[in-house]
Structure 1
Amino acid sequence: MRALITGANRGVGLAMAEALAARGDHVIATTRSATPLANVQWEQADMADPASISALAERVEGPLDLLICNAGVLHDRAEALETGYPPEMWAETFAVNVTGVFLTIQALLPQLRAAKAAKIAILSSQLGSNTRATGGRYIYRASKSAALNLGRNLAHDLVPEGIAVGIYHPGWVQTDMGGSAADITAAQAATGLIQRFDALGPATTGVFETWDGQPHPL
């Protein structure tokens, strides 16, 4: 299987790259700088830069069986409602978490269409669910909600072509974003997510699931 993972230089993205490469898959992974794994094809790409995404697509040759839209940012962890959440923070977050996801899928559609039964996995978050409205982090929540909506609609449009789309909550993971007190390790999240991707198909396209296979309310 040929898989491409965006934002794979650390955290869950890196753990997924390690796990897929270890089982013998051909892994293409994007990063803005570091290239920490020798058995992975590293490609420089900035998910906030449309030209960089287009250039990435031009360098990726041949069919692509799995596209994992993993790259994401969380900038508004400690913003105050009265004085925080500046417009540029909204723009920067949506550029990566929403627009970057769409442009990556759009740019790589030829490679996905060239594969048999290709799959697209979008990492959203439970914080993007309408049932997880506990306040704060408004920008991140809104961006992940938009990514969820994007994935659900792409699933509708692409299923006639045999391309399945799944949207996933990776869990509360012990990464720079999740913090050391989080529930699970990046390796645990990666193992569960890859199992979800393996099970994804036209019959289940549009699912919103947790890393361990539980349906997540929208």
Structure 2
Amino acid sequence: MTVVITGASRGIGAGLAAAYKMRGDRVIGTTRTGAHPLDVRDPTNHAAFAQSLAGQPVELLVCNAGVYLDKGQSLDGGFPADQWADSFATNVTGVFLTVQALLPNLRAASAARIAIISSQMASSERAPGGSYIYRSSKAAALNLGRNLATDLMPEGIAVGIYHPGWVQTDMGSAAAEITVNQAVAGLVDRFDALTLPRTGVFETWDGRPHAY
């Protein structure tokens, strides 16, 4: 199986890449620099990356690249416009451009799957306040995934959206609830369980349905 993982330089992305390599899968992990360079914000990067994979089936695409830029921002005077633009460029547009660029590769595979890493902070039913930019961008990624699931179902491509847990990474902090290894093990199980009849699911890393 060929697996493409965006944002694979550290944290969950690096953990997923290592787990799939250990299973014997072919892993193409993208970073902004490196063997498979991809800045998900840049359409020209996507075109070059897609060209490098021309004709190669991709069985699993994991859209993991993401940023959380508005930690600690104040409602009074915080959340500047450039943070909104930069966050949506990576967390939303970047996901769409990745899927769009690799559609030929996904279509060339048998029973292809797309996994979008969102967050429990995307849920409209969980609204404790703050982190407006991150919450909004992850909610948009969730909505994007749900609509992709509808459009790609006739083509046999399943789409799942996932909350990876509060993970001990640079983004999650050392105070987070679970380790990278725990999150990765759970997510791999979720991706394995993603089938066309279950397309459009929003689930936690440990298999619980998440409220939208």
Give the C-alpha shift of residue 207 in structure 1: 0.1
Give the C-alpha shift of residue 150 in structure 1: 0.3
Q: Which residue type is aligned with residue 26 of structure 1?
A: R
> What is the aligned partner in structure 2 of residue 202 from structure 1?
196
Instruction: Provide the TM-score with structure 2 as the length reference.
Output: 0.98
User: Which residue, 53, 75, 84 being the options, matches 2:46?
Assistant: 53
The list of structure 1 runs, each at least 4 consecutive aligned residues, that deviate by more than 6 angstroms after superposition, is: none
> What is the aligned partner in structure 2 of residue 142 from structure 1?
136
User: Which residue, 93, 96, 120 being the options, matches 1:102?
Assistant: 96
> What is the aligned partner in structure 2 of residue 89 from structure 1?
83
2:142 matched to 1:170?
A: no
Q: Which residue type is aligned with residue 165 of structure 1?
A: V
Identity %: 62
Which ranges in structure 1 are unaligned for 5 or more consecutive residues? 36-41
Q: Which residue type is aligned with residue 21 of structure 1?
A: K
> For 1:13 and 1:203, how far apart are their aligned partners in 2?
26
> What is the aligned partner in structure 2 of residue 80 from structure 1?
74
What SS does the aligned partner of 1:4 have?
strand
Give the C-alpha shift of residue 53 in structure 1: 1.5
Q: Which residue type is aligned with residue 58 of structure 1?
A: Q
Query: What is the number of equivalent residue pairs in this alignment?
Result: 211
Give the C-alpha shift of residue 131 in structure 1: 1.4
Instruction: Provide the TM-score with structure 1 as the length reference.
Output: 0.95
Q: Which residue type is aligned with residue 30 of structure 2?
A: T
Give the C-alpha shift of residue 55 in structure 1: 1.1
What SS does the aligned partner of 1:181 have?
coil
Q: Which residue type is aligned with residue 144 of structure 1?
A: K
> What is the aligned partner in structure 2 of residue 43 from structure 1?
36
> For 2:195 and 2:47, how far apart are their aligned partners in 1?
27
